[in-house]
Structure 1
Amino acid sequence: MKIGIKSLGCPKNFVDTEVICGKLREKGYQINEKINNSDIVIVNTCSFIRDAVEESIEETLSLVKLKKEGKIKHIIVTGCLPQRYKNDNLSQEFPEVDAFLGVGDLLDIDNVIKRVLQGEQIFKVCPEPKFLYNHNTPRTILTPQHYAYIKISEGCQNNCSYCLIPQIRGNHRSRKMEDIIEEVKMLSKKQNLSEIILIGQDTTLYGTDLYGEYKLAELLKKLSLLGLKNLKWIKI
């Protein structure tokens, strides 16, 4: 079973794509570098601003065209687009898409694929995403070998009038400091990382939900004291 994957949008979404790839490889699927001639194509979408929505729709329509031409068999749309438009009947708007999967349901990708192969059309989007990966979550690093993104938190609680992040990604939730440190150690051992990039919708809020105070500075200090041989850069 060959699966092609395309990731749109920001580094946070890119990490989600890496998690999807990790889960698929854990289940024995083959990740196809080329979209054409894939049994299933997954596009992990962005919808934060209008341009991102348009790009996600255009990419979906290009896959629909390939499906009609017989070059791919199934289409799964994941990520922010179905999450943002969870009440807008996307399955009717895009009947050629076999499944829509929201940002909180990514680890269910294996079950969704099984149902798609049985002929089901699926729309699976939880109303309030709570998913937050940890160092044990399957993840295939897709960046060049010398660096990796580390998602330290997810979501946002500021609820600014101009921003959709809380609606799409849910409330702010931080990963435990020990879990982040363990992931950095694990990836550094596996890849000899020289650079890590800490990411989140609002990295300055890191730790406020878990520890009741801002903890980004402490996290940076602990990471810098790990003594990892090749790690030269910690970026935010």
Structure 2
Amino acid sequence: LVTAPEGADVIVVNTCAFIDAAKEESVDTILEMAQHKGKGGKLVVTGCLAQRYAGELAKDIPEIDHILGSADFQSLAKALSPQAVVKLPSGKTKARKALPVIQVSETPTYIYDHEAPRKRIGALHSAYVKIAEGCDRPCSFCIIPKLRGPQRSRPIDDIVAEARALAKGGALELNLIAQDLTRYGWDQGSSPASRQTLAQLLRELGKIDEVAWIRLHYTFPSAFDDELIDAIASEPKVVKYIDVPLQHISDAMLKRMRRGHSSRVTRELVKTLRARIDNVVIRTTFIVGHPGETVEEFDELCAFVSEAKFDRAGAFTYSIEPGTTSALLPHRVDADVMAERQQTLMEIQRKISRERHEGMVGQEIEVLVEGVSSESEYLLEGRWYGQAPGIDGVTYLADGQVPPGSLVRARVTQASDYDLAATLEL
């Protein structure tokens, strides 16, 4: 492996195609990497953009040597040595047939296990663990089931084996991810008794000595049960932080989005999580401008956000995805109206976030130190449990010299909209 594309023998671009912005970024990256491809080098494109637009990519960007679907990247070695000699049962040898430029499985089924080679990049103290792949939900705006295939959950012992290896390599924080985290295990059997559960997984991961924080991402509001809530509340290593995209609160909008539950379920979930999990931090996201969203429905969403006072919330403007049910719906919202609604909703949330942070001034918190801040060499940068890596703000530490990956006690001294400042408690 090399640290820069210049001079690399092979450049692999792993792409996203979830929304328009992700598609544009993926295409821009492919074009940029094509400029770095040296003579005799190879450019391989994989991931969701490859899964969805393989033909268009091959036609429009001839510099691409191989296109592998979202579940076909395990064929990378074959793609890179297509003319290798293979031995026949007769003892004779022949050149293996080259793989086609495009290799995309119609329905992705691959899921990696703990024995799959993994090269860690970035900070070693925080790691992502994918516990399942694919999604079975019919959300009308989402293309993921077509790109990633049906849900397939990894066995608990396999996940734990990977987590132990990561912990031995320095990981203090495990970020559990899947397209539908709370549906983990549902694909393993027809009856609840035959399935493994997310709660069981959390308890097993909590037994790993080196791990300090276990964080849940991408949960689904109607999939929480008592067992899971109890596990989050009682397991000391499971941080009290729940990422649960709600998308909307209007019953009419939830029906158009085919979310499979009512606003009552959403409101009851928020109430239950706060009642049963001490100091829980709830992060969510919403979609504004979905086809059919009226002024009244958007106002209802704004009122809900103002009332619920989420610790973290993001808003996305609706992105038309060909092949989804929503793309066929009438009454589309103009782009400028969507942008205005996004700004309005985020301004409501900004004030809530600021208020919550100001309420933390004077409190003592535990901070996972990331390293020297990019803002100033005189500041350290870290996160308390209420800040997930990459998506939330950070906590700045104004004094002390602490190595990355350290867990320290600090006292909050200042608050901004999304960040905190604190001093070390020595």
On whether the aligned pair clears a TM of 0.5, the verdict is: yes
Q: Which has the larger radius of gyration?
A: 2
**Residues 1:199 and 2:174 are matched in the alignment:** no
Aligned counterpart for 2:5 among listed residues 23, 35, 42: 35
* Runs of 4+ in structure 1 over 4 Å off: 116-121
- Which SS does the other structure have where 2:81 is aligned? helix
Q: Identity percentage over the alignment?
A: 38
- Alpha carbons of 1:116 and 1:79: their partners in 2 closer, same or farther (altered >3 Å)? farther
* Other-structure match for 2:123: 144
Distance 1:63 1:204, change over 3 A: same
Q: Which has the higher contact order (CA 8 A, sep 6+)?
A: 1
CA contact (8 A) 2:164 2:208 kept: no
Contact kept in structure 2, 1:77 and 1:97, CA below 8 Å: yes
> Structure 1 residues 156, 119: closer, same or farther in 2, change over 3 A?
closer
Find out whether 1:231 has 2:211 as its counterpart.
Answer: yes
Q: Answer with 205-214 or 131-140: which moved more.
A: 205-214
Residues in 2 aligned to 1:227 and 1:115: alpha-carbon distance in whole angstroms: 42
Q: In the alignment, which of 215, 226, 229 is matched to residue 197 of structure 2?
A: 215
Alignment partner of 1:84 is 2:52: yes
Q: Which among 41, 45, 48 is matched to residue 15 of structure 2?
A: 45
Shift of residue 120 of structure 1?
Answer: 7.2
Structure 2 length as normaliser, TM-score? Answer: 0.44
Alpha-carbon RMSD: 2.2
CA–CA distance in 2 between the matches of 1:116 and 1:53? Answer: 32
Q: Give structure 1 stretches of 5+ with no counterpart.
A: 1-30
CA distance in 1: counterparts of 2:151 and 2:11, whole angstroms? 30
Task: Please state how far the C-alpha of 1:198 moved relative to its aligned partner.
Answer: 0.6
What corresponds to 1:25 in structure 2? none
* CA deviation after TM superposition for structure 1 residue 64, in Å: 2.4
TM-score, normalized by length of structure 1?
Answer: 0.78
After superposition, the Cα gap between the structure-2 partners of 1:116 and 1:103, relative to the gap in structure 1 and judged at 3 Å, is farther
* Ranges in structure 2 where 5+ consecutive residues have no aligned partner: 85-96, 217-426
Q: Does 1:74 align with 2:42?
A: yes
Structure 2 residue identity aligned to 1:206: Y
Conservation of the 8 A alpha-carbon contact between 2:133 and 2:151: yes
Whole-angstrom CA distance in 2 between matches of 1:192 and 1:120: 38
Question: How many correspondences in the alignment?
Answer: 200
Alignment of 1:1-236 (within 5 A): 31-67=1-37, 70=38, 73-86=41-54, 88-115=55-82, 122-189=101-168, 191-211=169-189, 212-213=191-192, 215-224=197-206, 226-228=207-209, 230-236=210-216
* Counterpart contact for 1:36–1:72, Cα < 8 Å: no
Tell whether the 8 Å contact from 2:133 to 2:153 is kept in structure 1 after alignment. Answer: yes
Structure having the higher helix fraction is 1
